[in-house]
Structure 1
Amino acid sequence: MGDYVLRTSSLSKQYKDQLALNNVDLSIKKGSIYGFIGQNGAGKSTLIRVVTGLALPTKGKLELFGHSTEQELIQARKRIGSIIEGPALYPHMSAAENLEAHRLLKGIPGKKCIEKTLSLVGLQNTGKKKAKNFSLGMKQRLGLGIALLGDPEFLILDEPINGLDPMGVVEIRELLKKMNHEYGITILISSHILSELYLLATHYGIIHKGELLEQLTVNELNEKCQQYIHVKVDKPDKATAIIETQLGTTHYEVLPDGTIKLFRYLDAPGKVSKTLSNEGLIIEQFMPMGENLETYFTNRIGGGKHE
């Protein structure tokens, strides 16, 4: 029980005639950074709203920190910090004043947390500058600071890098890594910038049309997305025998159409093609290939373009 900060079982959410979540079984381990992937309307924000108590599930079970009764969930949510649909900032207040206002709203005792949080998110030198004059990256960092008030154990972030310039994206990424590595905060982060999620997440969940298609670790993703040499020859059975005997490897896969995915000799493709040719095989296709998170995601949801 203590290994997970969040678990759902057959969690569903119906809006009139739209099934936004369909029997979702999701689990997030303590200490992980969980990248939540899906197109617009796939159900990411709906699940986040249910987890944070902003929406009620139609059916199914929700468990936070091992607790699942209504009263227990109310208490457990006090251990969560979140940014949903953009940080809620007071534009005419400074960073410190924003944090103070939210400290009072959350009922957090003492003001020591203000300076600590400002320093943590790199806004300690903004003085009396008003939030309306902050850059987008500074606003996102202030939003993170608000979410971090009260020392949450679980941080939930819905599109926290949306609209940021490259420098802002790097700043938020490094800050989240610091939160996770130095303070042990578990993070659920949804984002459309899949290349950025790949640099951050330790675990992934892919949701499509309200259904959770797959959960996998970064190591499992790397295994699925590893680079290989795409080989298509006239006699695949003979080719695999040559690969094993003359090239000395069994690290390959034969697809139903006879195409061979060779996971070795990536640094010496010429040796492979020469060996196969010398044995009289006709090489029809031969090229290095491999997936990344974006192509894996696109293939996993059945093709098409994500937004």
Structure 2
Amino acid sequence: MSEYILRTSQLSKKYKNTLALDDVNISVKKGEIYGFIGQNGAGKSTLLRIVTGLSFSSKGSIELFGENNPSMLSDAQKRTGAIIESPALFPNMTAHDNLEVHRLQKGIPGRESINKTLELVGLSETGNKKVKNFSLGMKQRLGLAIALLSDPELLILDEPTNGLDPMGIAWLRELIKKLNREKGLTILISSHILSELHQLASRYGIIHQGKLLEEISAKELDEKCRQHLRIKVDQQAKGATILESTLSTTDFEVMPDGTMKLYAYLDDVRKVSKALTDNDLVIEHLSQNGDSLESYFRELVGGVEDE
């Protein structure tokens, strides 16, 4: 069985003269939390709608659970649960009755799944209260319950924290972690706020103006953003030896471009400079580098502000 739950190949979507998706290739591995990040209007929802069968691509293909035959994709899509934009709810019904309608529509056997799912999302005590009287946060929870009702293998969440207060966001974050950890659920979650996904995702796809700019693991992203001293001397090998012997640190990397990244001594640059020059090395470059996650994202997309 493939390690990938979802892969897209040159996926494109054109609306009249607007190219919403431009040859996008993403790959989501089994068991990971994949953070799909981009500004509002970047193409996140368009891709998720195509993956879930709510829209069709203009070009390209999708592989879902190893199935890429278009005529068989609908069966694969039944193994997913999703919240895309605002969940479809029946305002004059209770939470329980809303789930019952969706249970019947999806052909899920037995009613046991309803109470179990309501309890999972914290709505088991809503009783006869109609959905029209729910808060926005409660409606989001009910939408999540609908997505989880069929016990999916892939959960797709499009901007799921919209309308949630800080407590609701923290609750959702912990539930996502629990579902991933205890059920091994693969989760694809989109957001335009990198700081939200940073607490969840094991890998990221960054999209801008319909183009996928980068796929990167959480470890790689943290490494790129880690504060360090960027050092270039006339003798790289000798410089590395000085860092180890004179400064007694191995917390550095020797880079292919001839520079070194030193993660220690960030608050004592003069000591680093003195150690190098005292050993007859010529310092060609010495600066402090490293970004916050937000500044890294802004730099990647060209500094464009979110609209």
Change (3 A) 1:242 1:64: closer
Q: 1:49-68 to 2 correspondence within 5 Å?
A: 49-68=49-68
Change (3 A) 1:230 1:12: same
Runs of 5+ consecutive residues of structure 1 not aligned to the other structure: none
Report if the CA contact (8 A) 1:239-1:281 is conserved.
no
Shift of 1:201: 0.6
Q: Which residue of structure 2 lines up, in the alignment, with residue 198 of structure 1?
A: 198
Q: Which residue of structure 1 lines up, in the alignment, with residue 265 of structure 2?
A: 265
Change (3 A) 1:238 1:2: closer
Q: Which residue of structure 1 lines up, in the alignment, with residue 174 of structure 2?
A: 174
d(CA) in 2 for partners of 1:154, 1:296 = 29
Shift of 1:161: 0.5
Q: Which residue of structure 2 lines up, in the alignment, with residue 165 of structure 1?
A: 165
Shift of 1:174: 0.7
Q: What SS does the aligned partner of 1:169 have?
A: helix
After superposition, the C-alpha distances for 1:119-148 in whole angstroms (9 at most, x for unaligned) are: 111111222222233232222111100101
Q: What SS does the aligned partner of 1:7 have?
A: strand
Change (3 A) 1:240 1:248: farther
After superposition, the C-alpha distances for 1:55-85 in whole angstroms (9 at most, x for unaligned) are: 1111112110000112210100100110011
d(CA) in 2 for partners of 1:239, 1:164 = 51
d(CA) in 2 for partners of 1:118, 1:24 = 36
Shift of 1:281: 9.8
Report if the CA contact (8 A) 1:243-1:249 is conserved.
no
Q: What SS does the aligned partner of 2:297 have?
A: helix
Report if the CA contact (8 A) 2:83-2:157 is conserved.
yes
Q: Which residue of structure 1 lines up, in the alignment, with residue 138 of structure 2?
A: 138
Larger displacement relative to structure 2 (18-27 or 238-247): 238-247
Q: 1:40-189 to 2 correspondence within 5 Å?
A: 40-189=40-189
Change (3 A) 1:306 1:127: same
Shift of 1:275: 4.0
Q: What SS does the aligned partner of 1:10 have?
A: strand
Q: What SS does the aligned partner of 2:215 have?
A: strand
Q: Which residue of structure 1 lines up, in the alignment, with residue 227 of structure 2?
A: 227
Count residues in correspondence: 303
Runs of 4+ in 1 over 6 A off after TM superposition: 253-256, 277-287
Shift of 1:37: 0.8
Matched, 1:237 2:234: yes
Report if the CA contact (8 A) 1:91-1:132 is conserved.
yes
Report if the CA contact (8 A) 2:37-2:193 is conserved.
no
Change (3 A) 1:23 1:284: closer
d(CA) in 2 for partners of 1:136, 1:277 = 62
d(CA) in 2 for partners of 1:13, 1:168 = 34
Change (3 A) 1:237 1:159: same
Q: What SS does the aligned partner of 1:36 have?
A: strand
d(CA) in 2 for partners of 1:269, 1:243 = 16
After superposition, the C-alpha distances for 1:11-67 in whole angstroms (9 at most, x for unaligned) are: 111212111111111110011111001112211111111101111111112110000
d(CA) in 2 for partners of 1:254, 1:104 = 58
Shift of 1:271: 3.8
Give the alignment's Cα RMSD to 1 decimal.
Answer: 2.9
d(CA) in 1 for partners of 2:137, 2:282 = 55
d(CA) in 1 for partners of 2:51, 2:229 = 43
Q: What SS does the aligned partner of 1:175 have?
A: helix
Amino acid paired to 1:293 = L
Q: What SS does the aligned partner of 2:8 have?
A: strand
Report if the CA contact (8 A) 1:34-1:205 is conserved.
yes
Q: What SS does the aligned partner of 1:295 have?
A: helix
Shift of 1:284: 12
TM (normalized to structure 2)? 0.87
Q: What SS does the aligned partner of 1:187 have?
A: strand
TM (normalized to structure 1)? 0.87
Change (3 A) 1:286 1:170: farther
Amino acid paired to 1:67 = E
Q: What SS does the aligned partner of 2:234 have?
A: helix
Matched, 1:39 2:39: yes
After superposition, the C-alpha distances for 1:159-211 in whole angstroms (9 at most, x for unaligned) are: 00023211111011111111111111111110122101000011100111211
Change (3 A) 1:135 1:266: farther
Q: Which residue of structure 1 lines up, in the alignment, with residue 297 of structure 2?
A: 297
d(CA) in 2 for partners of 1:282, 1:68 = 57
